[in-house]
Amino acid sequence: MTHHDPLQKADFGAIYDQPDPRAYFSTLQPFGYVIPQYGADAFTRLLSVLPIRDVSPTVLDVCSSYGIVGTLLRSDLRLSDLYAHYTDPTTSAQSPQTLREADRKLIAERAKGAAPRVVGLDVAPNAVAYGVEIGAIDAGVTDNLETDDPSGRLTELLAGVDLITTTGGVGYVTERTFDRLLRSCPKDVWVAAFCLRTYDYHPIATTLARHGLRTERMSRTFPQRRFTDEDERQWAISRVRERGLDPEGKEADGYYHADLYLSRPLDATETRHVDALLADAF
């Protein structure tokens, strides 16, 4: 299912907009794709410390796909549970509609008492519809902010956002998307983004700074997934070297690694460094 030209990142586009996430999980499982769980653990911790306007905070998950981070934030299910569920032979035999109904029940049964509200943004309409239908995300939009300004509906949703998150999204989305988001979000929104070390986050951090947010990078990095093959490994190693980074112990060991960036208002009252905020979150 993957398409891979020599020396570039593998293309998983075919699994991003299916009627349900079975192909997503069965394709990514062999590569140990784990970043949504690190994301959910980090975002849950951040939600417990950021100042919120309402009774429950609102997250905007950028590149939300089938609502995977939403499921992990809103229920006590872990990513390992989702892999087991979506690759189970019983699940494989179900029709998309039967699966949706079962998943909706599962998420409702496993819902956390104090769950955040999650808005999903992704250009994949089937994935977004699935996420909304099973209750992984409370609302979903398919605007492409790389090319267009937000729709009226998205603009309304953005007005209530406390935390913008993304895992596996930077590269697909750039400073163009973040600029458009920040124009409509509250001035004190926080942004927590995992970004592969093969990509440069500086253009996004610079854009966020123009909107009054200061960015910190966590000291540790996070394995995202194994490389699909030797060509991809070589591509990633040369990209991080070009960026002046050392691949030893990270990409050289066969894994993409992501940095975690946290951006918050200059006058934020919670001022501990992101390393301290997330010290024991994982």
Decide if residue 172 touches ligand SAM (CB under 6 A). yes
Parallel/antiparallel/unpaired status of strands 58-62 and 117-121: parallel
Q: Sign of dihedral through CA atoms 64, 62, 167, 136?
A: negative
Can residue 37 be called a binding residue for ligand SAM (CB under 6 A)?
no
Strands 190-196 and 255-265: antiparallel
When asked if residue 35 is in the footprint of ligand SAM (CB under 6 A), the reply is: yes
List 75, 91, 167, 207, residue binding ligand SAM (CB under 6 A): 167
Q: Does 36 bind ligand SAM (CB under 6 A)?
A: yes
**The token pair that represents 187 in the structure block:** 């001035």
Q: In the complex, what is the shortest distance from the CB of residue 269 to ligand SAM, in angstroms, rounded to a whole number? A: 29
| Footprint (CB under 6 A) of ligand SAM, residues 125-154 | 127, 144, 146
HSE-up of residue 271 (Cα within 13 Å, Cβ side)? 4
Going from the C-alpha of 14 to that of each of 10, 40, 203, 247, the distances in angstroms are: 11, 24, 28, 29
The span from the CA of 251 to the CA of 268, in Å, is: 34
In contact, 97 and 56? CB cutoff 8 Å: no
Q: Is 71 in the site for ligand SAM (CB under 6 A)?
A: no
Determine, following the binding rule CB under 6 A, whether residue 169 of this chain makes contact with ligand SAM: yes
Among 46-54, 118-126, 214-222, 265-273, which window interacts with ligand SAM (CB under 6 A)?
118-126
Of 44-52, 61-69, 92-100, 180-188, the segment contacting ligand SAM by CB under 6 A is: 61-69
Closer of 12 and 190 to ligand SAM (Cβ): 12
In angstroms, the CA 113 to CA 206 distance is 37
Minimum CB distance to ligand SAM smaller for 75 or for 167: 167
The one segment of 40-48, 62-70, 107-115, 196-204 that binds ligand SAM by CB under 6 A: 62-70
Burial of 242 (0-12, 13-18, 19+ CB in 10 A): exposed
Does 65 help bind ligand SAM (rule: CB under 6 A)?
yes
Residue 59 touches ligand SAM, criterion: CB under 6 A? no
Pair of tokens at residue 242: 């070009």
The structure tokens listed for 169 are 């999204």
User: Interface residues with ligand SAM (CB under 6 A)?
Assistant: 16, 35-36, 63, 65, 68-69, 121-124, 127, 144, 146, 167-169, 172-173
